Amino acid sequence: MATSTVTKTAAKGGSFLLESAAPQDVFTPADLTDDQKLIGQTAEEFVVKEVFPVVKDLEAKKPGLLPSLVKKAAELGLMSGGTPEQYGGAGLDKVATTILTEKISIYGGFASTHGAHAGIGTLPIVYFGTEEQKKKYLPKLASGEMIGAYCLSEPQAGSDAQNLLTRADLNPEGTHYILNGQKMWISNGGFADLFIVFAKVGGEKLSAFIVEKTFAGCKPGNEEHKMGLHGSSTTPVFLENCKVPKENLLHEIGRGHIVAFNVLNSGRFTLGASCVGGSKYVLMTAAKYAKERKAFGKQIGEFGLIREKLAEMAIQIFAVESMIYRSAGNMEASMHAAGASGDSVQNTMKVLEEYAIESSIAKVYGSEMLDFAVDEGVQIFGGYGFHEDYPVCRAYRDSRVNRIFEGTNEINRMLIIQMLMKRAMGGQIALIPAAMKLADEILAGPSFEEVPEGVLSEETRAVANAKKMFLQAAGGALQKFREKLADEQELIAALANMVMEIYAMDSSLLRAQKAAATKGEAAASVLIDAARVFIADAAERVEHEAKRAIAAVHEGDMLTIQMAVLKRFGKRTAVDTIALRRRVAAAVQSQDRYPFEGR
């Protein structure tokens, strides 16, 4: 199906911290093919035409309505992006599934339904199923004949998923596993036909099973009363002597964590894309309202403080979108490079692992950006933003859970650094030599600094210096705490915040430079403005986090030296971000929506 204009060479996962990619090698929304755009358009139109008109009924949980919408979406190929065509799926590439997810996510309730079915409910079989399992289940999931769900969490085990208590015991005849336990918070639980259930064989070996709702002893519970996502289903699932045929074991006994974590990796990236879709919709709604609402004889959109909000929403969306599509391009290029060689499932696993850092970044940064956007959206609507009749109110409630599921943002912050250190220790990225080189440079004192030239040269310098700040802070932290670094959670979070900001800065910079090179500086001027504002503010945030981290590591004279070095890396020319934001706001207001490619 849709093939992307893939990035020429896939950058290694996490390498953005050390290397400067060439702008032309980075995938951006401007590189989407017509086919890919059409997929996005179809997804968005589906929600606008089929879902929005029945939102009230959906949120009131009208029986049968949500599953019927899933089936309709499935008929359009929207519920099987990641399922190969040979099993009845749409067989989309990574970039196409990303845009599909983004555009179908303009309504939170359907976004989570889609993610639970097409993502975590289906992909375990795509990645780990036997040929028989794939043939039996994937066509039904792709067509919507069966709806999928993913059952990992339990009442006492969410973040600490390996602490789950559900057990699976082979029956004396050796024909069935008997599952007993309770699953909690299961998206699509109320109407799913197929559950990917994690249980411990013999109470010890974590394993995954394909469980059909019709299997005796599989009982979904009542709907949870949630803060938001009322247009989705979330229930417990009870397993009481549930008889699961032996052949429904997914992957291998004792390897359930491999299934769970690889699928979550993929889900995290997808969730980031979903947040981009949700935030663009809120920005559009808020921009339109700012034109309609009057105060003090003016449209509220004429006030600087409202314009500033619209601009900042667009700028933050731009940064997250730049990261997401850059990562999608890299993943696609990696898959492409692996090509027909080797086992395609193994290749997919390798790619998911390679970009696990970027996937966690997408999840954390995307969900926090969406929370910012919905919060400002409510503010622009004033009192009406607090009223249930206005969609922005619903978007505010729906957004909050994104920081909790698919691994909380605390867990993902820790994972970012954990995975980075693993890659550094394994030699996949040369983080340690780079930190040592920087430490030598610091000891040698200030040296002549090459000044970058061309479009966004100041910003190029700021991004390079942010990377040095990270190396300085991370190098010191590693040297002091070594294997005990894992116990220093606050320090790890500061480092993770720096990593995320750097990826966002770097991706925004490269996208703006690529746009300037392809269509000219004048035509790309607002995109360049957005990149300049984002980088100026993010550089401040990186410096702030570096200060926190360095102060937690050094003391006395060494702390004074380190702070002096940090100050050198933090030297920047001041940017008039007020004027730049006004220009971005004008672009938003001239179109009443997100103004860049990808809209």
Ligand X SMILES: Cc1cc2nc3c(=O)[nH]c(=O)nc-3n(C[C@H](O)[C@H](O)[C@H](O)COP(=O)(O)OP(=O)(O)OC[C@H]3O[C@@H](n4cnc5c(N)ncnc54)[C@H](O)[C@@H]3O)c2cc1C
Least CB distance to ligand X at residue 330 (A): 26
Among the residue ranges 152-160, 239-247, 319-327, 580-588, the one whose residues contact ligand X (CB under 6 A)? 152-160
Q: Is 151 near ligand X (CB under 6 A)?
A: yes
Q: Is the CB of 6 or the CB of 151 nearer to ligand X?
A: 151
- The CB-nearest residue to ligand X is 158
CB of 343 to ligand X, least distance (A): 27
* Closer residue to ligand X, CB minimum distance, 379 or 408: 408
- With contacts defined by CB under 6 A, name the span among 83-91, 153-161, 383-391, 559-567 that binds ligand X: 153-161
Write a three-state SS string for 91-141. CCCHHHHHHHHHHHCCCHHHHHHHHHHHHHCCHHHHHHCCHHHHHHHHHHH
Contact pick of 99, 229, 290, 395 for ligand X (by CB under 6 A):
229
Name the one range near ligand X by CB under 6 A: 86-94, 203-211, 213-221, 398-406. Answer: 398-406
Secondary element (H or E) of residue 179: strand 176-187
User: In the complex with ligand X, which residue's Cβ is closer, 219 or 554?
Assistant: 219
- Is 458 part of the annotated catalytic residue set? no
Q: Is 217 exposed, middle or buried (0-12, 13-18, 19+ CB in 10 A)?
A: middle
Residue 236 · residue 184 · CB < 8 Å: yes
CA–CA distances in Å: residue 42 to residues 66, 101, 597: 19, 11, 17
Judged by CB under 6 A, the chain residues 457 through 476 that form the site for ligand X are: none
Rule CB under 6 A: choose which of 16, 107, 128, 150 binds ligand X. 150
CA distance 375 to 396: 6
Residues in the interface with ligand X (CB under 6 A) total 21
For residue 596, state whether it binds ligand X (rule: CB under 6 A). Answer: no
Locate 54 and state its tokens: 């029945």
**Of 403 and 548, CB closest to ligand X:** 403
Q: Give the type of residue at 44.
A: E
Report the alpha-carbon distance of residue 16 to residue 506 in Å, rounded: 8
Determine which residue in the list 21, 152, 393, 496 makes contact with ligand X, applying CB under 6 A: 152
| Region from 87-95, 392-400, 406-414, 456-464 binding ligand X, contact rule CB under 6 A | 406-414
Smallest distance, Å, CB 121 to ligand X? 8
Q: Does 116 bind ligand X (CB under 6 A)?
A: yes
d(CA 584, CA 314): 8
Bridge partner residues of 235 (DSSP)? 186
Is the Cβ of residue 189 or residue 301 nearer to ligand X in the bound state?
A: 189
**Min CB(150)–ligand X separation in Å:** 5
**β-bridge partners, 242:** 179
Q: Report the nearest approach of ligand X to the CB of residue 2 (Å).
A: 28
Least Å from the CB of residue 156 to ligand X: 8
Residue closer to ligand X (CB basis): 27 or 405: 405
SS3 182: strand
Binding track, positions 475-514, relative to ligand X; x by CB under 6 A: --------------x-------------------------
Least Cβ distance, residue 382 to ligand X (angstroms): 28
Q: Residue 328 or 361: which CB sits closer to ligand X?
A: 361
What are the beta bridge partners of residue 244? 177
Q: Is 187 in the site for ligand X (CB under 6 A)?
A: yes
Q: Measured from the CB of residue 577, what is the shortest distance to ligand X in angstroms?
A: 32
Q: How far is the CB of 406 from ligand X (least distance, A)?
A: 6
Cα–Cα distance for residue pair 136/489, rounded to 1 Å: 45
| Region binding ligand X by CB under 6 A among candidate stretches 158-166, 291-299, 322-330, 421-429 | 158-166
Distance between CA atoms of 94 and 336, rounded to whole angstroms? Answer: 10
If one asks whether residue 410 binds ligand X (CB under 6 A), the answer comes out as: yes
Residues in the chain, how many? 599
- Integer Cα distance of 272 and 320 in angstroms: 8
Our finding on whether 159 is near ligand X (CB under 6 A) is yes
- Is residue 153 at the binding interface for ligand X, with CB under 6 A as the rule? yes
Least Å distance between CB 222 and ligand X? 14
Closest CA to 216 of 170, 180, 253: 180
Q: Residue 223: what are its φ and ψ, rounded to 5°? A: -60, 140
Q: Which stretch binds ligand X (CB under 6 A): 20-28, 154-162, 272-280, 305-313?
A: 154-162
Question: Is the distance from CB of 181 to CB of 199 less than 8 angstroms?
Answer: yes
Instruction: Name the one range near ligand X by CB under 6 A: 271-279, 399-407, 438-446, 552-560.
Output: 399-407
Asked if 405 interacts with ligand X (CB under 6 A), we say yes
401 in contact with ligand X (CB under 6 A): yes
Q: Which of 492, 473, 289, 291 is nearest to 378 (CA)?
A: 289
Position 226 contacts ligand X (CB under 6 A): yes
CA–CA dist 200, 177 (Å, integer)? 11
Nearer to ligand X, 116 or 364 (CB): 116
With respect to ligand X, which residue has the nearer C-beta, 40 or 115? 115
Which entry of 406, 488, 501, 597 is annotated as an active-site residue? Answer: 406
Q: What is the DSSP string of 196-220?
A: EEEEEETTTEEEEEEEETTSTTEEE
Name which of 183 and 307 has its Cβ closer to ligand X. 183
Under the binding rule (CB under 6 A), the answer on residue 411 touching ligand X is yes
| Residue 295, number of CB atoms within 10 A of its CB | 11
The distance of Cα 323 from the centroid of its chain, to the nearest Å, equals: 10
Residue 184: CB partners within 8 Å, gap ≥ 6? 153, 154, 155, 158, 236
SS percent in the chain: helix, strand, coil, step 5: 65, 10, 25
Q: CB of 469: closest distance to ligand X in angstroms?
A: 25
Rounded Cα distance between 416 and 424, Å, is 12
SS3 for 24-83 is HHCCCHHHCCHHHHHHHHHHHHHHHHHHHHHHHHHHCCCCCHHHHHHHHHHHCCCCCCCC
CA angle 417, 367, 322 (to 5 degrees): 80
When the beta carbons of 113 and 562 are compared against ligand X, the nearer one is 113
What the block records as the tokens of 181 is: 């336990």
What is the CA angle 423-429-432, rounded to 5? Answer: 90
Tell me which residues touch ligand X (CB under 6 A).
116, 150-153, 158-160, 185-187, 226, 229, 234, 401, 404-405, 408, 410-411, 489
What residues act catalytically? 406
